Amino acid sequence: MPCSGHGKCLSMRHLSFESQLNGDATNYIYGTDPNSALSWDADRIQGCACDDGYGGYDCSERTCLEGDDPGTYDDNQEVQLLRCRATSGSFKLQFRQKHTVALNYDINQEDLKAALEALDTIYSVGVEFDWNSTHLCTNSTQSNIAKLTFVSPTGDVPNVVAYANSLSITDSANSAGGGVLTFANDGSVLSDRHGVAVNSVVGTGEVEPCSNRGLCDVGTGYCSCFGQWSSSDGEGGAGNLKDCGYRIPSFSMNAVPGAAV
């Protein structure tokens, strides 16, 4: 069965259309010039574009969760900032080609977190509003700032993208217009309602299978953790990420060398 039944067999030309960089689609193209000798193989050589969760040259291997190496220090979690100015309507957020359901303008912290974690490209994210915890969007230019802290995936992740065509705003003079979503990322800032700058943060953590503290079983996609390492919460504590990022205290009765997660 082509690509082990877990991918698509494509020419080099069409593989370029499927290419991704850090999980985001690229605009790479290959073989569009029929007179170029450099791309003679565009329609002659084929390869596999694997489904999510599969890898290897023939898509026969399951992939394991990647995480930050707990043996390194002073790593930063990625922090992206979001501000919404609107009084009605809805919007969608997209991360690594996956988008949320339509989200109401007045969504709260808990529901925004749940919507983002419902994406299969985000395993764990912290969501914190800077002052109004019950509504993301307001009609003020100094409305809430939502701080999105990426716990998993780790590292320098792509920017969240918004689709806000359905948002609208009515100001105090009863004039209507389109709502606005504003992002800050990669170190840029937004000013809070007191005029104080809030910084976004570039993630600097590692992106390693099983957090470099276990071996990936490519048959199952589960990590077999080294002794005294187990599933973490992405921040050094015990959790359900199945990434081998939690160091079990040496006195714990639960420390089982080689435990699979």
* Residue 145 predicted with pLDDT over 90: yes
171-203 tens-digit pLDDT:
655 456 788 899 999 999 999 888 899 999 999
- Give percent of the chain above pLDDT 70: 93
Mean pLDDT confidence for 160-170 = 91
Query: Residues 91, 41: one domain?
Result: no
Residue 27 buriedness (CB in 10 A; 0-12 / 13-18 / 19+): exposed
Query: Residues 179, 103: one domain?
Result: yes
Query: Residues 184, 229: one domain?
Result: no
Mean pLDDT confidence for 69-90 = 94
* Distances, alpha carbon 184 to alpha carbons 73, 89, 98, 246, in Å: 25, 22, 20, 31
Any residues with CB less than 8 A from the CB of 212 and at least 6 apart, and which?
69, 71, 206
Query: Residues 156, 225: one domain?
Result: no
Mean pLDDT confidence for 2-15 = 96
Mean pLDDT confidence for 152-165 = 95
Return d(Cα 112, Cα 108) in angstroms, integer.
6
Query: Residues 222, 195: one domain?
Result: no
Return d(Cα 214, Cα 231) in angstroms, integer.
10
Work out how many domains the chain is built from and give that number.
Answer: 3
Query: Residues 103, 193: one domain?
Result: yes
Centre a 10 Å sphere on the Cβ of residue 95 and count the other Cβ atoms it contains.
23
Query: Residues 193, 211: one domain?
Result: no
Give a yes or no: residue 222 inside a domain.
yes
Amino acid 142: pLDDT: 62
Give a yes or no: residue 142 inside a domain.
yes
Give a yes or no: residue 127 inside a domain.
yes
Do 230 and 223 meet the contact criterion of CB atoms below 8 Å apart? no
Amino acid 75: pLDDT: 94
- Domain span holding position 16: 2-62
Query: Residues 143, 181: one domain?
Result: yes
Domain boundary among 176, 199, 222: 199
- Give percent of the chain above pLDDT 90: 78
